[in-house]
Structure 1
C-alpha cells in the first residue's frame, strides 16, 4: 500500500486543480452536445418562428400605418381641395348676389324715377286741366261781371249774346295784354 500511496501522492502533485478530470470533460461535452442538439431541434425553430411572426406583425403594422397615413394625407388633400372649391363657390355666389343687388337697386331707381316722372306728369296735366277750368270759369265770371257793369254804365240791357261775347273777348284780350306788359317788367 505504500507504493500506492506514493504513486497517489506523486499524481496528486502533478494534478492541476484548475483543469478538471478527463471524465468530467467528456461527460460535460456529451451533455452540452445533447442540449445543443435539443436546442437547435426544438427551441431554435420555435424562437425563429416567433421572431418571424413578430417581424411580420411589425412590418404589417408599419405598412398599415403608412397606408393609413397615406390615406389620411389623401383625405386631407381632398378636404383642402373641397374647402378651396367651397371658398371659390362662396366668393362667386357673393359676387353674383352683389351684382344682382346692384341690378335690383338700379331697376328700383329706374322704376322710382319713372314713377316719379309719371306722378309729376300727372300733376302737371292735372294742374293744367285745373288751370284751364279756372280760366274758363274766370272768363265766364269776368264776362258776366263786365256785362253787368256795362249795363249799369250804359243804362240799357246788352242782351245780344254775340255782342256780349265780342265785348267779353275784347275785354279779356285787353286784360291779357295788360298782364303781359306787367309781367315783362
Structure 2
C-alpha cells in the first residue's frame, strides 16, 4: 500500500492540479481574445457612448441649475430692491398723510375760529340791536309813564307831544349821565 501511495505520489508529481495543461491555457487565451475583441469592438463603445450621454446630461443639468440659481438670485435682488423701494414709498406716503392731516386740522381750526368769530360778531350785533330796541321801547314806555305820572301830580294834562317828548328826553339824558358818572366813579375806585 505504501508503494501504491508512493507510485500515486510520483504520478501526481508529474501532473500538478494547480497548473493547467498547455492546451487549456491556449484555448483559454483564444476565448479571452475573442471575448476581448467583442468587448472592445461592441460593448466598450456603447458604454462610452452611454457614459458620455450621461456626463453631458449631468453637465447640462448642472448648467441649468447654475442658470436657475443665477435667475433666482437676480429675482431675489430685484425683489429686495422693490421691497426697499416700497418701504421708502410707504414712508413717504405716511409722512405726506401726516402733513396733510396737520394741514387739514389747521384749516379746520382756522375755519372754526372764523366761524366762531362770525357767530360772536353776529351775536354781539344782535344783542346790540335788541338792546337798542329795548332802549327805544323803554324810552317810549318810560316817557308815557312819566307823562301820565306828571299829569296826575300836576293835575294838568300834558298832551303836547313835542313838549312831552323834550321833557322825557331830557330826563333820560340826565339819568344816563348820572349812570355813567356812577360807573366811572366805581371804575376809578
- TM-score of the aligned structures, taking structure 2 as reference length: 0.83
How do residues 134-173 of structure 1 correspond to structure 2 at under 5 angstroms? 134-173=134-173
Q: Does 1:55 align with 2:55?
A: yes
- Is 1:84 matched with 2:73? no
1:75 correspondence with 2:78: no
CA offset at residue 25 of structure 1? 2.3
**1:182 counterpart residue number:** 182
**1:7-156 alignment runs, 5 A limit:** 17-156=17-156
Query: Do the aligned partners of residues 145 and 13 (structure 1) sit closer, same or farther apart at CA in structure 2, a change above 3 Å counting?
Result: closer
Equivalent pairs counted in the alignment come to 176
Unaligned runs of 5+ in 1: 1-9
Shift of 1:17: 4.9
SS of the equivalent of 2:175 reads helix
Partner secondary structure for residue 20 of structure 1: coil
- Write out the 4+ residue segments of structure 1 that deviate beyond 6 Å after TM superposition: none
Alpha-carbon offset, residue 133 of structure 1: 0.5
Segments of structure 2 that go 5 or more residues without pairing to the other structure are 1-9
**For 2:159 and 2:19, how far apart are their aligned partners in 1?**
180
Could you report, residue by residue, the CA deviation over 1:130-179 in whole angstroms, capped at 9, with x for unpaired residues? 00000011111111122222222222222333322221121112111221
Instruction: Return the TM-score normalized by structure 1.
Output: 0.85
Query: Structure 1, residues 76-134: CA drift from partner, whole Å, max 9, x if none?
Result: 22222222222222222222222222211111111111111111111000000000000
Counterparts of 2:13 and 2:137, CA distance in 1: 172
Query: Cα distance 1:12–1:157, how it changes in 2: closer, same or farther (>3 A)?
Result: closer
Greater displacement, 79-88 / 50-59: 79-88
